[in-house]
Structure 1
Amino acid sequence: MDRISELPNDLLVKILSFLPTKVAVSTSILSKQWDFRWMWWLPKLEYTISCYSKSECERLKCFLDRNLPLHRAQVIESFRLGFYYPHFEPGDIRLWVLTVVSRCVRGVEISYYSDYKNKQDILPSNLYTCKTLVTLKLYGPILVDVPRMVCLPSLKTLRLEEMVYSSEDSLQRLLSNCPVLKDLYVKRRACDNVRRFIVIVPSLKRLTFLEGDYLDEIVVKTPSLKYLKLEYFNSKIPHCLIENMPKLREAYVDFNFPILERLIGSITSVKRLTLCQVDNRSEVIIFLNSMALNSSTESSVSVRGDGLVFKDVLFRRISF
């Protein structure tokens, strides 16, 4: 007797969602009753290529072309795709993403493994107006071409690693149309085309920014921020406008000193602060774990020409 098939549908969906997509699809051979069960119910779809095999990529392409349009789950909780250049055509990937967006997708993660020269325009324009999208994670030289009509009313987590932007204001336009964004992670790659990093997001709680090339301007206006991580190693000092963050509780800042000097007044409410200052001679890491930097306490933090001075704050210094 097939006792598994007699389980409630909700429980079967839960079981399938914990399986890798390939394993979940293989359940179709169990019986006629299971023939299309995964296609109707499977809420999480993950398709990744772990090697450069052209034949494996062709098999995956055939499978997606044949089966993804037939997927009938009312909501796709997550769609994850990982692939290598040059085995997939941009038009195919756009079509797959377009399909999951039409299925009320909540999470999209795309990893594109290639060098910087092989940038790919693989994101359909309707991705930028998906009302159900909660999480968007993109890795690799994917072209971010944000249309003028963009609105992501449910997006809470956005991760952009080593993207290629179609214009200088693409990232700013995207962020300004995410009204409930909570977590933003941006990692720039060397020689990208963005020279202004502007984050004006009142709802943001976590911000991680890792620099890959020089910037002309850094603007951060995030009054609700609780966690901040900034890394900027370029010798060219950008213009900085970083407003006060009264709710900030933890910060990791790895900037050269002129930027630290401009930033320190905006992070006086932190409970845990790590500052890294790098020069040609040494790296100094200062940990402040046990005491808040209170801006109402006179001279709790001061800046001098030769560095930062912390008064009545426990810290540990490590020199290399």
Structure 2
Amino acid sequence: MDRSSGLSKKCCYRATSDEDKADRISNPPENILSHILSLLPTKDAVRTSVLSTEWVYRWTSIYNISFDDNLCNFEACNNKAKRGRFMSFVERVLLLCRNTVFEELQLFCRWNYDHSRVKTSMSAMLRCTVKKVDIRYDGPLNFPKIFFSCDSVIELKLRVRDVRLPDDSLHSNLKILAPSSVCIQSLGLQSTRNLFTFPVLEKLHFQKCQ
């Protein structure tokens, strides 16, 4: 009698343990879900909002954001309407994201967009705490002033056809700087020299820059 009782208790214990494991898989903690969604391309993370009512805003906790006009169903952004849709997507993501601390922000654009909208979106990105920034823009781009004094950025990659910089810029925590195919020009009217201040820079890689 005691043995059967013991076996019964043991079986019950195993069943409960299996149920707990199933619960962990079907209902993972929010931080695990956020990590998984952050590993996805941003367009795919946003698409999870259609899964159920519980998932409508779950993607807004991501801490990696990548905007790529070649991957966001705007493959032929060679007309004004499609470029406008892409920028609206960028603005919506930045507006709804709950995080104020990001590991990495990427902006890859193969077409020219409304400069004022791009500049506003970049300002919104950099007002957050961002560790890594990677910008590729196939055309000239006027960066917002905050870009030249963002203390949180430790790694900066640039591939922009034409970058206009102020006479001096300070990135106090920047450790890695990698501009590629960049034409650097001064914004100063009387100066053709730029003063770049990177007190903790560890790696500098210029490639095909002017």
TM-score scaled to structure 2, two decimals? 0.76
Q: Which residue of structure 2 aligns with residue 231 of structure 1?
A: none
Contact kept in structure 1, 2:62 and 2:99, CA below 8 Å: yes
Counterpart of 1:67, as a letter, is V
Secondary structure of 2:161 counterpart: coil
Structure 1 residues 111 and 154, CA gap change in structure 2 (3 angstroms): same
Q: In 2, distance between residues paired with 1:113 and 1:132? A: 26
Q: Does 1:32 align with 2:57?
A: no
Unaligned runs of 5+ in 1: 193-320
| Aligned mates of 2:174, 2:103 — CA distance in 1 | 13
Match of 1:152 among 166, 171, 182: 171
CA deviation after TM superposition for structure 1 residue 166, in Å: 2.2
Greater relative contact order structure (CA < 8 Å, 6+ sep): 2
Q: Which residue pairs with 1:10 in the alignment?
A: 31
Paired letter, 2:103: E
Q: How many Å separate the matches in 1 of 2:96 and 2:26?
A: 22
Cross-structure match for 1:73: 99
Contact 2:160-2:181 within 8 A present in 1 as well: yes
Distance 1:5 1:90 in 2: 44
Task: Count the aligned residue pairs.
Answer: 178
The one-letter code sitting in structure 2 at the alignment partner of 1:47 is F
Label 1:107 to 1:92 Cα distance change in 2 as closer, same or farther (>3 A): same
Matched to 2:41, the amino acid is P
- Please name the residue that 2:193 is paired with: 169
Give unpaired runs (5+ residues) of structure 2. Answer: 1-21, 187-191
Deviates more, 1:91-100 or 1:27-36: 27-36
Match of 2:10 in 1: none
Instruction: Name the counterpart of 1:184.
Output: 204
Indicate conservation of the 8 Å contact 2:107/2:135, yes or no. yes
In the alignment, the residues of structure 2 paired with residue 21 and residue 67 of structure 1 have an alpha-carbon distance, to the nearest angstrom, of 9
8 Å CA contact 2:167–2:193 kept in 1: the answer is: no
Deviations 1:133-177 (A, max 9, x none): 0111111313131354x321221111111222223422xx22xx2
Aligned partners of 2:202 and 2:101: how far apart in 1? 22
Secondary structure class of the residue paired with 1:186: coil
Tell me, yes or no, if the aligned pair for 1:76 and 1:103 is still in contact at 8 Å.
yes
Tell me which stretches of 4 or more aligned residues in structure 1 moved more than 6 Å. Answer: none
Residue 52 of structure 1, CA deviation: 4.1
Return the alpha-carbon distance in structure 2 between the equivalents of residues 16 and 77 of structure 1: 13
**1:141 has 2:167 as partner:** no
- Displacement of 1:4: 5.7
Residue in 1 aligned with 2:44? 23
From 67, 87, 96, give the equivalent of 1:47.
Answer: 67
Contact 2:176 2:203 in 1 (8 A): yes
SS of equivalent to 1:187: coil
Structure 1 pair 4–20 and aligned structure 2 pair: CA distance change class (3 A): farther
Residue equivalent to 2:150: 130
In the TM superposition, residue 179 of structure 1 has moved relative to its aligned partner by 1.1
Is 155-164 or 1-10 further displaced after alignment? 1-10
Q: Could you tell me whether the CA contact under 8 Å between 1:125 and 1:147 is conserved in 2? A: no
Preserved contact between residue 180 and residue 208 of structure 2 (Cα < 8 Å): yes
Deviation at 1:90, TM superposition (A): 1.5
- 1:169 maps to a residue whose letter is R
Contact 2:174–2:198 (CA under 8 A) maintained in structure 1: yes
Q: Which of 100, 103, 116 is equivalent to 1:91?
A: 116
SS in 2 for 1:142: strand
How far is the alpha carbon of 1:74 from its aligned partner? Answer: 2.6
CA distance in 2, matches of 1:5, 1:113: 43
Over 3 Å counting, the alpha-carbon distance change for 1:43 and 1:110 in structure 2 is same
The 3 A distance-change label for structure 1 pair 147 and 107 is farther
Residues 102-130 of structure 1, C-alpha deviation per residue, up to 9 Å, x if partnerless?
1111111111124xxxx222x11111111
